[in-house]
Amino acid sequence: MDLNIDEKRYRAHLKRLEQYRPLDDDFMRELFRDNIPLSEMVLRIITGISDLKITSQETQFDMKRLLGTRSICLDVFATDSEGRLYNLEIQRSDKGAPAKRARYHSSAMDIEFLNSGDDFEKLPITYVIFITENDIRGEGRAVYHFEMRDSETGEPLDDGTHIIYVNAAYDKPDDTSDIAKLMHDFRCSKANEMSFDLMAERTKYFKETNEGVRFMCRINEEMCNEARMEGIIEGEKGKSIKIAQQLLSMGVGTIEDIVKATELSVDEVRSLAKKIKSE
């Protein structure tokens, strides 16, 4: 073990790793990272495009053109040989996958890949795919595929946008389809119980080889350290806010004095002052 952590923390990481499933986004990102064959297989099954050929893929893909708007980081972003774009997201919380979030992801992909002056016809066909732990659509289906259509005739608009919800809770014993097997694998924590070799082999690497286990433990340790630092920073900021509130309530010092004393921003101190004045 070359992680520079004590035995107790190491064992905790091992226990966490043992419970990981592809449905856990931290683990999912590592399964798919630099793994085009796995992405290609999963996307073929979900979209039904049997000849889909992935040419590039990236995990944790940051949209660069969303300056001044709400930023998003895509779990898995892929492009196929026909120029179609795919965003694959894991959402365990029902609240994390509302229809308007899918719409925003779809819009963000449009903005990212249409250059200034380009004709709108150059907009690529896009697929935003949410794999959810529960059946958030509530109809008992494995896949819910949405496109824009005429509300009276059902005729498709053909704008090239697709939003797909995949129900990872789908578990019908008599269904032997690939999508049913895939959802089983996403819920599964053991490589030897998975249906698809590509998923099983990658899971086995991270859970049963020395190199893979050390890598995942290192990732877990980094995430723990990051969370710990965020907690410290939030805690320190909370103390600064409390001090600023006390100084403002007592009328001690100017806004600039309190900024220097607490390291809060001018806007933050002014906002606190306004709040105290209105109370």
- Report how far residue 161's alpha carbon sits from residue 88's, in angstroms, rounded to the nearest whole number: 14
- The predicted structure's pLDDT at residue 1: 44
Contact status, residue 164 vs residue 47, Cβ threshold 8 Å: yes
- Taking alpha carbons only, the member of 266, 261, 260, 270 closest to residue 243 is 261
Over the stretch 197-237, which tens digit does the pLDDT of each residue have?
Answer: 999 999 999 999 999 999 999 888 887 776 665 555 556 67
Provide the 10 A C-beta neighbour count for residue 4: 7
Q: Where are the alpha helices (DSSP H) in the chain?
A: 7-19, 25-32, 36-47, 99-112, 178-187, 197-208, 210-250, 255-262, 266-278
- The predicted structure's pLDDT at residue 48: 97
* Residue ranges covered by each domain of the chain: 21-188, 230-278
Asked if residue 56 has pLDDT above 60, the reply is yes
Burial of 178 (0-12, 13-18, 19+ CB in 10 A): middle
- Report how far residue 153's alpha carbon sits from residue 127's, in angstroms, rounded to the nearest whole number: 23
Contact status, residue 29 vs residue 76, Cβ threshold 8 Å: yes
User: Is the whole-model pTM more than 0.85?
Assistant: no
Contact status, residue 38 vs residue 54, Cβ threshold 8 Å: no
- Report how far residue 246's alpha carbon sits from residue 257's, in angstroms, rounded to the nearest whole number: 13
- The predicted structure's pLDDT at residue 229: 57
Over the stretch 253-269, which tens digit does the pLDDT of each residue have?
Answer: 678 777 877 778 888 88
One-letter amino acid at 251 equals G
Helix axes 210-250, 266-278, angle to 10 degrees: 50
Over the stretch 141-183, which tens digit does the pLDDT of each residue have?
Answer: 999 999 999 999 999 999 999 999 999 999 999 999 999 999 9
